[in-house]
Amino acid sequence: MHISMQDKIIPLAKKLISVPSVTGDIEKAVAILKFTERYMEGHTVTPFVSNSFPSLLYSNKDKDTRNFKFILNAHLDVVPGTTSQFTPQVKNGKLYGRGAYDTKAGAATMMLLFKELAPKIPFPLALQITTDEEVGGEDGTKYQIENGVRGDFVIATECGSNFRIIHEAKARLVVKLIATGKTSHSAYPWLGDNAIWKLQQAIHNILQKYPIPDEALYQTTVNVTHIETQGKEKRDTAYNRTPDYCEAIIDVRYIPTEKETIVAQIKSLLIDGVSMEILHNSAPHQTDEHNQHVQALHKIVTKVYKEKLPLVKQHATSDARHYSGIGVDGIEFGPIGANQHTDGEYVNIKSLDTYYAILKKFLLSVDK
């Protein structure tokens, strides 16, 4: 009886989904990596820990190997979900569950692929598994890079690909805006200096410069994700008093061509009494679409999937950007699915067979 790869991938993906490895839950992060180590027993592995976040690096060589021809990159952390979302369900050819698409089915595929090909491939091959991608990957992929991990080319399994090769993605800049003023009784606004109004004016200026588009356009966007009037202090419940402090978090997704100018641009849009603090600023993911590995994989995708898909640029980030930051080329490439970070997240089961076949054919086609 023939057993397809999806018959091996799905049981593994289900076990990964059933672990509620929400980013920041270190106990569950440790648990899912312990399961991974048991499943991958017999393969060379180096564990890493940074700020309590664990990650693993598998190699088909020895533990001292830090330079690889190819790195397969996957994350096993997920965004929060309901209890039922951590009970995987198969229905109408789809595997449902938190992380099914982002990115536990892709990770399961890479794990099985590494187990099969690691002994056969002559060049250094790595499988990198992390638990902090959803909060930036600073303590997973980036930490491993800081400890000498390098590759000629990186393939990050990621949602949003659907067999399209993502060779470029926007960078992420997270900024805290802080407005200060003077309190007053709300009936006598001329006696105070309302910090909320100051912050509102600054945000208005920013959104005038970067209006929210009506459709998916590859341009810099800004979103306000948090506003608070008391900072770290206890929330003020005196609703007839204007605040002398207000802060907001803005999430900026900027295109690579604005890398050198975006911070100064945001700063220029502020007003007196409003300052900014950079919480996060990472390099954009950017690989030339004419890269030999991008072109080789694209040809294989067309041949195996029997459809010529476009090379694309993405709005959200992935850990591939950490490699771009040190000049290492890479892509995001994953199976078909939808609804990441929302209800009804799923991955198409049949696409996992195709995903495995594409990656296998690509790795076996590479010259030594």
Q: What single letter denotes the amino acid at residue 203?
A: I
Spatial distance between the Cα atoms of 62 and 270, rounded to a whole number of angstroms: 53
Question: Are 111 and 165 in a shared domain?
Answer: yes
For residue range 290-312, list pLDDT tens digits in order: 999 999 999 999 999 999 999 99
Domain final residue, candidates 232, 263, 281: 281
Q: What pLDDT, on the 0 to 100 scale, is given for residue 316?
A: 86
| Domain endpoint, select from 237, 258, 281 | 281
pLDDT of residue 1: 43
184-196 pLDDT, tens digit per residue, is: 999 999 999 999 9
Q: Specify the number of domains making up the chain.
A: 2
Whether the pLDDT of residue 276 is over 50: the answer is: yes
pLDDT in tens, 1-27: 446 788 899 999 999 999 999 999 999
Over residues 217-245, mean pLDDT: 82
Domain limits for position 50: 5-169+284-365
**End residue of a domain, out of 262, 281, 300:** 281
* Paired residues of 118 in beta bridges: none
Do residue 317 and residue 234 come from a single domain?
Answer: no
Contacts 24+ apart (CB under 8 A), 120-124: 120/364, 121/60, 121/363, 121/364, 122/368, 123/68, 123/69, 123/70, 123/366, 123/368, 124/59, 124/60, 124/61, 124/65, 124/67, 124/68, 124/69
Read off the pLDDT of residues 206-225 as tens digits, 9 standing for 90 and up.
999 999 999 989 999 999 99
pTM given for the model: 0.89
CATH no. for residue 103? Answer: 3.40.630.10
- Do 130 and 51 sit in the same domain of this protein? yes
151 and 253 share one domain: no
45: left (phi over 0), alpha (psi -120 to 50) or beta: beta
Confidence of residue 368 (pLDDT cuts 50, 70, 90): low
Q: What is the pLDDT of residue 232?
A: 47
Same domain flag for 217 and 128: no
Local confidence band at 239 (pLDDT 50, 70, 90 cut-offs) = confident
